Amino acid sequence: MRTAEEAPPARVLIVDDQPLTRELMTLVIRAQGHKTLVATNGEEALAIAAARPLDLVILDVVMPGMDGFEVARRLRNDERTRNVPIIIVSMLEDKESRINGLAAGADDFLIRPVDRVELKVRVQNLLRLKRFQDELGAQNTILERKVELRTAELERSNRETIHTLIRAAAHRDDETGAHVKRMGLYATLLAHRLRLDEHFCAVIGFASQLHDIGKIGVPDRILEKPEALSGDEWKIMQTHTGIGGQMLALNSSPYLAMAADIARAHHERWDGSGYPRGLKGEKIPLAARITQLCDMYDTLRSWRPYKPAMDHAAAASSILAGDTKSLPSHFDPTLLAAFKVVMAEFRDVFETIRD
Ligand SMILES: [Fe+2]
Ligand SMILES: [Fe+2]
C-alpha cells in the first residue's frame, strides 16, 4: 500500500476558532508531509474551499457565526467540494453532534481535546480514501474520453462507407449524382417538417440517397433501355428493391439499417398498390414512405427518353390532386400535408442541384 510520503502532499483545511487547536493540528498534519490551510470561521472556510482544490476538511462544530454542520452541508452541496472528506470535531460524549454531523455529510469524527495519534490516523485514512477516489475519477474520465473518441471514429468511418456506397449507387443510374443528392435534401426537409428527431433527420439525409443501390444488380440492357420495358423486363427491374435491401441489411450501422428499409420499400404505396410486397399504410417503414414521395416528385420533374419533364406546379398537382401518373392515395396523408408546406423548398432543391 502506498504511504503518505510517496503520494504528492495533500491539502488539508483546518477550521477552528481556537488558536491552540489550529496550531496543534497544523503541526501534526505538516509532520505527515501535507500542506495545511486554516480558517477561523465557517465563512472563511467556504471562501477557501471555493478558491482551491482541497483533499480534506477538519471542521469544528461550535464556532461563532455559521456552525460546523452548516459548513459541512454547504461543502456537500457544492459541485467543487462534494467529494472532499470531512472530519467533524465535537465535544466528548456529544452523541447528538455526531448524528448531526453524519446527517450533514461528515465522514469521520474527532473528540476534543484532540489526541495527536488519533488525528494522525484519521487524517491518513481519509486522505487515502480521497486519493483512491481521485484516481478512480481520473480513470473514468480517461475511459469516457476513449469511448467518445471511438464513437466519433466509428461515426466517421460509417459516413465514409456510406459516401462510397452513394457514389456507387449514383454511378449506376444517375450519371451526375444530382438525383441522389436532391433525394437526401428532400427527405431531410420532409423529416424536419414532420418534427422527427434530430437523429432521424440526419440519418435519412444519407439513407435516402441509397434507395436505388440495388440497381447495381440489374442488367444494363434493362437499366439503359430507352423504350418502355416489357413485362418480364419490368419484373427484373423491380428486383432492385430486394437486391438493395439485401445489400444493406447485413450491417449494424443505423444509417444502413434505415437505408435497407428504404431500398426494400421505396416503391410501396400507402394504398397497397406498390411493389415488391404490396405493403399498406404504416406497414411501410416511415423512412421509405418519405423517400417514395421525394422520388416521385423528382421523377416527375426529370426528363426521361420516354417522358417529358414537368414543371413544379404540374408535379405538385400530380402528387396532391392526382393524374395518370400518380394518385394521392399512393402517399401517406400526413406526408402529403407536410409536402404541401415545404414543396416550394423542393422546387428550390430541384432548381439548384441540376443534372
Ligand atoms: Fe427505385
Ligand atoms: Fe430515385
Q: What is the DSSP letter of 304?
A: B
264/147: higher pLDDT: 264
Predicted pLDDT of residue 314? 97
| Alpha-carbon distances, residue 141 vs 61, 83, 87, 134, 138 (angstroms) | 35, 16, 28, 10, 5
Question: Does any domain span residue 5?
Answer: no
128 and 179 assigned to the same domain: no
CA 156 – ligand 1 centroid, Å: 27
Q: Which residues contact 279 (CB under 8 A, 6 or more apart)?
A: 265, 268, 272
Residue 83 resides in a domain: yes
Boundary (domain end) residue, out of 143, 163, 198: 143
Which-ligand-closest: CA of 174? 2
Torsion-angle region of 322 (φ positive above 0: left; ψ -120 to 50: alpha; else: beta): left
Rounded to the nearest angstrom, the distance between the alpha carbon of 181 and the centre of ligand 1 is 15
Q: Is 139 contained in some domain?
A: yes
In a domain, 168, yes or no: no
Residues 113, 228, single domain; the answer is no
pLDDT at 2 over 50: no
Judged by average pLDDT, the poorest of 2-11, 16-25, 192-201, 203-212 is 2-11
Task: Quickly state the pLDDT bin for 137 (edges 50, 70, 90).
Answer: confident
**How does residue 168 score in pLDDT terms, banded at 50, 70 and 90?**
confident
Task: Report the DSSP beta bridge partners of residue 111.
Answer: 90
Are 59 and 113 within one domain?
yes
Whether 84 and 231 map to the same domain: the answer is no
Q: What is the DSSP letter of 13?
A: E
Q: How far is the CA of 281 from the centre of ligand 1 (A)?
A: 19
SS3 273: coil
Ligand 2 centroid to Cα of residue 199, in Å, is: 23
Instruction: Output the domain CATH number for residue 104.
Output: 3.40.50.2300
Whether 312 shows a pLDDT value over 70: the answer reads yes
| Same domain assignment for residues 50 and 93 | yes
User: What pLDDT score does 151 carry?
Assistant: 81
Q: Is the pLDDT of residue 102 over 70?
A: yes
| 345 in the same domain as 197 | yes
Same domain, 180 and 296: yes
Q: What is the pLDDT of residue 175?
A: 67
Domain end point (choices 143, 162, 187): 143
For the chain, give the number of residues.
355
Which three three-digit cell numbers place residue 145? Answer: 474520453
Classify residue 226: in a domain, yes or no: yes
CA of 31 to the centre of ligand 2 (A): 79
**pLDDT (0 to 100) of residue 246:** 92
Quote the domain boundaries for residue 106.
11-143
Residue of 119, 19, 117, 65 lying closest to 109 (CA atoms): 119
Together in a domain, 238 and 336: yes
pLDDT band with cut points at 50, 70 and 90 for residue 233: very high
Q: Residue 220 C-alpha to ligand 2 middle, in angstroms?
A: 17
What are the DSSP calls for 144-200, one per residue? HHHHHHHHHHHHHHHHHHHHHHHHHHHHHH-TTSHHHHHHHHHHHHHHHHTT--HHH
Instruction: Express each pLDDT in 246-274 by its tens digit.
Output: 988 877 777 789 999 999 999 999 999 99
Confidence of residue 302 (pLDDT cuts 50, 70, 90): very high
Whether residue 231 has pLDDT greater than 60: yes
> Both ends of the chain: CA-CA distance in Å?
72
Count of structural domains, the chain: 2
pLDDT tens by residue, 63-90: 989 999 999 999 999 999 999 999 999 8
Name residues with Cβ closer than 5 Å to ligand 1, which is an ion: 212
**Bigger pLDDT: 255 vs 321:** 321
Provide the total of helices (H) and of strands (E) in the chain, helices listed first: 14, 5
Distance 269 CA to ligand 1 centre (A): 13
Ligand 2 centre distance from Cα of residue 295 (Å): 5
pLDDT at residue number 97 = 81
> What confidence tier does 6 reach under pLDDT thresholds 50, 70, 90?
low
Shared domain for 188 and 318, answered yes or no, is yes
- Domain membership flag for residue 158: no
- Model confidence band, residue 98 (pLDDT cutoffs 50, 70, 90): confident
Same domain for 334 and 219: yes
Same domain, 213 and 96: no
CA of 179 to the centre of ligand 2 (A): 7
Which of 94, 122, 143 finishes a domain?
A: 143
Give the ligand whose atoms come closest to the C-alpha of residue 294.
2
CATH number where 179 lies: 1.10.3210.10
Cα–ligand 2 centroid distance for 209 (angstroms)? 8
Residue 156 lies in a domain: no
DSSP label at residue 331: S
- The more confident residue out of 275 and 1 is 275
Q: Residue 163 falls within a domain, yes or no?
A: no
> Which of 55-59, 214-218, 247-251: highest mean pLDDT?
55-59
User: Separation of 197 CA from ligand 2 center, angstroms?
Assistant: 24
- Measured from the alpha carbon of residue 180, the closest ligand is 2
Domain co-membership, 325 together with 187: yes
